[in-house]
Amino acid sequence: MIRDDLDRQLASHLHGAADLRQPEGLVDHVVNRTATIRPRPAWVVALRGNVLRPAASVASNPVYRLVAVALLVLVILGLALAAGGAPRSPFEGRWISVTVDTDGSTQHVVIGPGWNPEVVYDDEFSALCQASGDADPRWHGEARGTVTDQRLALVFAEAGCTIWRVHNERLAFDYDPATRQLLDANRIAWRRVR
């Protein structure tokens, strides 16, 4: 059977049995022993906490605050880099235009990231392909571009329709920051789709 007052009885027994006198030479021994020990540096005490008082909270301990701020800065920098912290080319994205030629076809350009982007150019209906007798009037080309200032210069190694092809075709786009549009050599405006 467990008794409710067991803790009080045990404390009373231990208090009565304990020798309350200090041993001979205890004070001298403690003074001699601690006189040769170098105190811990303050930063170690702050890092481990003061063992003589309850543990400090993170907010009240300067070392913990410094570590928390450093971690927060690293997280913010990581998020900034993940969200595109590196400078982006103004040409990157998907662009669309309606030609001013008589065919009135829609043209698409997809420009990859970076300062030497991969570029895919498609014209849904090319009057040149049709005039050349090609069965498929769509124009397609893939190139690698070079961005300098507000200009993207392209050289298509090969581009064209199914049968009719051209080699080393050059094309350039100029970026207009005021309108956020591209202008090609024919002064056709291109707008960003996404």
Q: Which two tokens stand for residue 187?
A: 């002064």
Beta bridge partners of 160: 140, 165
Query: Residues 109, 123: contact at Cβ < 8 Å?
Result: no
Lowest mean pLDDT among 23-27, 97-101, 187-191: 97-101
Residue 36 Rama label (left phi>0; alpha psi -120 to 50; beta): alpha
Express each pLDDT in 112-139 by its tens digit.
998 899 999 998 888 888 888 888 888 8
Strands 181-184 and 189-192: antiparallel
Residue 129 and residue 116 in contact, taking contact as beta carbons nearer than 8 Å: no
Q: Alpha carbon of 54 to those of 49, 57, 67, 90, 122: distances in Å?
A: 9, 9, 21, 57, 71
- Show me where the domains of the chain are located: 25-82, 93-192
Could you tell me if 159 and 140 are in contact, meaning their C-beta atoms sit under 8 angstroms apart? yes
> Residue 173 pLDDT > 90, yes or no?
yes
Per the CB < 8 A criterion, the answer to whether 101 and 130 are in contact is no
Residue 121, judged by CB atoms within 10 A of its CB (0-12, 13-18, 19+), counts as buried
Q: Where are the alpha helices (DSSP H) in 40-83?
A: 42-48, 62-82
- The 10s digit of each residue's pLDDT in 92-112 is 999 998 666 667 788 899 999
Non-local (6+) Cβ contacts of 165 within 8 A are: 158, 159
Nearest to 182 by CA among 143, 130, 142, 147: 147
How many Å apart are CA 92 and CA 88, to the nearest integer? 7
pTM exceeds 0.85: no
C-alpha–C-alpha distance, residues 184 and 163, integer Å: 25
When pLDDT is averaged across residues 49-77 and rounded to a whole number, the result is 72
Q: Which of 9-18, 114-123, 162-171 has the highest mean pLDDT?
A: 114-123
